[in-house]
Each structure stands twice: as C-alpha cells, then as structure tokens.
Amino acid sequence: MEVDSDADSKFGETTRSFVSWFLALPGATFRSDLITVEDLRNRGAGRGIVARQDIAADTPLFSIPRNTIICAATSTLRDRIPAIFDLGDDGAGLSDSGDEDESNSSSQDSWTLLILILIYEYLRGDASPWKQYLDVLPSSFDTPMFWSPAELSELQASAVVAKVGKEDADRMITSKILSVVRAHEDVFFPCARDRLGDTQLLELAHRMGSAIMAYAFDLEKDDENEEVNEEDEWVEDRAGKTMLGMVPMADTLNADAEFNAHINHGEDALTATTLRAIKAGEEILNYYGPLSSAELLRRYGYVTAKHSRYDVVELPWDLVEMELRERVVGRTAPSDWEKIDQLTRSDEDFEESIVLERWTEDPDSAGQLSSAAVFTGLPDELAEQFKVFLKAAKKVANIELAVHAMSDKDMRKDLYLQVVLGALQAREREYATSLEDDERLLNEGGLMGRHEMAVWVRRGEKQLLREAQSWVRREAQELRNKASDGTTTDDGPAAKKRRL
C-alpha cells in the first residue's frame, strides 16, 4: 500500500512540476482557468487534459512555441555531432514501424535521429531544458513490442502479430543508435561512470522509440506535406514522417475516434483548439486517425470501443486459392496447378493478402460520427485477383465449371461468392477461440490489461469476418433468387455446361 501511495505522490509531483515548467516556457500559453492536467490512471489512460468548466467551440486551450519542441532543430545534439543531422533527400527513410532503410545502415532518418536526441536529452538529466517533460514520459509501454510470447499468443490469428517487428527494431537500434552512441561516448556520457552497457542502451532506445511512436508529432506546417483529407480537411498528426518532434502538452491529450479538439500547426506555434462546445468534466480529446483496434494497440498500446469501426481483417490469398483448388482445379494435375498459381502470382497487381474493412463516414468538422460503420462489400482487388486466377486456370487447364441454372456471369459470381465464403470461414477458424467465446470472456469482465486488449482485438476481427460472411451469403441468396426467377445478369443461355 505504501508503495502505491508513494507511486501516486510521485505521479502527482511529476505532473505538477511538468505543468509549472510548461507555464514558465517563454511564449507558451495554457488556459488554466479552463483546463487541467489530470490523473486518469483509474481508466487506464495515464495523464489527460480535462475541462474545468464549460468551454465554447473554437477556443484556443494552449499553445507551444515551435522553439520549445524537442526536434532536430532545437536539441544541442546538433552542435555536438553535426554529421548525423545530414538526413539526405527527404529525411524520412523509415516507416513508422522502424523498418530500416537497408541501403545505408549507418545514416540517420527523422525517426532514428529523434531517438538519439531523446537519449541524449534524457542522459543529460537536470542539464536538459526538457527535464520536467522527459520525467512525464512513460518508462514502460503496453504496445505488443513489449509483450511476452504468452501475451502475444492471446492475439491469436490477428495479422498484427506479424507487425510487431521486435527483431527489426533491435537491428535498427544496433546499427543506427548504438553505433553513434559508442562513437561519441564523451557526448552521451560526459561522466564516464554513468556509461550504460549495450543491454541498458538497447532498452533505453526501445523506450524512446516507443515514446516517439505514441507521442511524436509530424511537424510540418498545415499547408505543407501533411496528408489532408480533402473532404473534411482533417490533418492526421501521424500521417507523414518528414520532421518528427516531441511536443510537450500537445502530447498530454489522449485521443479517440470521436474527439473534440485539434492541434493546429501554425508558423511559430502549435495550438490546441476546441472543435465544439465541451462540458465541464469532459476530457479534451485529440485524433490519431482512422485506426483499427489492432493498429491502435500496435502504435499506442490501448484500444477503445469507438475505434472498432475501423477494424480490418487480412484475408490471405492462400486461403482463397485453397478453396478454388477444391472447387475448380481439384481435378487438374499438380503441375498444372503450380502453373496456374505461378501465373496468378506473376500478375503485377498480385497481393499476398487482401484487406477487408467496413464502409464508414469520416468524422465531421466537430470530430463526431453520426452513422454506424457497415460491411458493404468485398474489395475490388479480391474480385480482380479472382479473375486473374480464372483466366490462368482457363489458359493452363481449360477447366470446366459444373452446370448451374445461371448465366456465365452469374455462375462466375456464384463461384466467387462460395469460394470467398469458404475462405472467410477458414480465416475465422485460424483463431483459437470463437467469437462467442470472446464475447463471453469480455462480458464476464474478469480480463485485465494486455489480455483484455488482445481479446478485444481478436473479437473485433472475428466480428468483421462474420459481417463479411453474412454479406456474402446475402449476395449469393440474391443471385439464386434471380436464377430461380429466370432473370440473369447477362443474356446468354443459362443451363449449359460452360467453359470458363
């Protein structure tokens, strides 16, 4: 108990000293009359910003001058090791997963450079101008990168498991981070007795890399290089990776798929502004983008009910082919099968797996969503790839289809739907538990932390798979109804044995 209250008072103390530090920053503003930084750990949300009173729409809440952001332009690491700041053409050789630009394993990009900057500033301790800010950054994360194999196994067949990328990150850190620190020990460890070993350094680099993933902003101004959704003009803060920085206070805002505030990227400062009227006691929420539960977990280490609308499922082409093999090419020789497979895969648009998702509106200009997300159809790429396969099957083996009381076109569509249905069912069977099992587990309410988030992610994917199956069944039924009515999609004679 004593440990908990010690931890609580430390949490409160670091929050207070961070807020005081922020208020004293030259040029920074913070409407203390309207908002306060609160401890939201009881809802698993760390620190967040809450309205102290009713706030009108379009009210600026706080602003951060650009010169107080931690980035390549502000850290003194630039003066100490200028050579690593030459980022080349675009300075963005990394994806957000930290995948290495293999072409030059020692050169930096905006991601690795910011890791180095954060390590440098952190190791400076009291000498860093961002000390009070660095103190509120988390020292541990719930992103799957830090999960044990047992915890990861709870994600079951979710495609996110393959995207965790721990080994890639280890390699990137060793080649781009450790090498620089070791070559400049005088800069990173001015006091030799503070020198960290490789294991500690690797851990620190992971921590800073994860902080960047969950906290950093893309610093381009609104009208430059940022991806703007043309319909509603939303700027997604995490869209590009051209110039990354840590923005104190802006990153204290939590986020959801419905939100009530936005960070405007101005010439000299970044400003948080309300998008609609906010009631006293409501949390001020930012937007991280239309992310699925799995992606939210991978990048930020949390899930929310509202993000489930963006859930996706990857349908591996192998599962579709397996169904096709049974239904269409079961009677062909294995060598023919291989030729069909090769021809399909050699198509320039071939995709190993196809992403299924729901149709959903974008948030409106007040950060709100008004309609439910719905599964409205299979992706065009899947139908295209299916066509490529059938063409290959015809070319290689001149395969015949069974007779149906349907037109050629309807027959192909029926085959397509049956094959996709089989593949969707096979995909669902890849998960170790059923949708009903997961719903029961979540309803019973006994799950905690990472386990609960994993069940949430896999349940959402199974739910989407079921919606896709229902959609396919409805389409197939409609097709049959049409065939029994005698209406066909094309006007060729229906009841003959046909060639594909």
Residue closer to ligand SAM by CB (options 114, 181) is: 114
Q: Measured from the CB of residue 286, what is the shortest distance to ligand SAM in angstroms?
A: 8
Q: Which is nearer to ligand SAM, 256 or 461 (CB)?
A: 256
Tell me how far apart the alpha carbons of residues 68 and 71 are, in angstroms, rounded to a whole number.
9
Let me know: does 404 contact 483? Beta carbons within 8 Å.
yes
Q: Smallest gap, in angstroms, from Cβ of residue 250 to ligand SAM?
A: 8
The H or E element spanning position 285 is: strand 285-286
Residues 6+ apart with CB under 8 A from 307: 256, 257, 291, 292, 293, 296
Pick 30 or 337: Cβ nearer ligand SAM: 30
Neighbouring C-alpha atoms within 13 Å toward the C-beta of 370: 3
Counting every residue, how long is the chain?
A: 500
In the chain, the amino acid numbered 356 is L
Smaller CB separation from ligand SAM, 42 or 103: 42
Least CB distance from residue 471 to ligand SAM, whole Å?
A: 30
Smallest separation (angstroms) from ligand SAM to the CB of 492: 55
Q: For residue 398, give both structure tokens.
A: 């001149």
Q: How far is the CB of 112 from ligand SAM (least distance, A)?
A: 20
Nearer to ligand SAM, 250 or 411 (CB): 250
Backbone angles phi and psi of 263, in degrees to 5? -100, 115
Considering the complex, state which of residue 188 and residue 302 has its C-beta at the smaller distance from ligand SAM: 302
Q: Which residues bind ligand SAM (CB under 6 A)?
A: 44-48, 214-215, 251-252, 254-256, 300-302, 304
| Core vs surface per residue 320-354: b (16+ CB within 10 A) or e | bbebbbeebbeebeeebbebbbebbbeeeeebeeb
**DSSP letter at 365?**
T
Residue of minimal Cβ distance to ligand SAM: 46
CB of 39 to ligand SAM, least distance (A): 9
Indicate the residue among 210 and 407 with the shorter CB distance to ligand SAM.
210
Q: Which of 269, 407, 386, 260 is nearest to 328 (CA)?
A: 386
Min. distance of Cβ 24 from ligand SAM in angstroms? 20
Return phi, psi of residue 175, to 5°: -80, -35
Q: How far is the CB of 252 from ligand SAM (least distance, A)?
A: 5
User: Computed from CA positions of residues 384, 387, 393, 394, in that sequence, does the dihedral angle turn out positive or negative?
Assistant: negative
Residue 45 vs 442, nearer CB to ligand SAM: 45
| Smallest gap from residue 37 Cβ to ligand SAM (A) | 9
Rg (the chain; Cα; Å): 27
Minimum distance from residue 251 beta carbon to ligand SAM (Å): 4
Nearer to ligand SAM, 93 or 301 (CB): 301
Which value, to the nearest 10 degrees, does the dihedral of the CA atoms of residues 109, 110, 116, 122 take? Answer: -170
Q: Alpha helices, DSSP H only, in 304-407?
A: 317-327, 334-345, 380-397
Residue pair 394/344 in contact by the 8 Å Cβ criterion: no
d(C-alpha 93, C-alpha 102), whole Å:
9
With respect to ligand SAM, which residue has the nearer C-beta, 44 or 165?
44
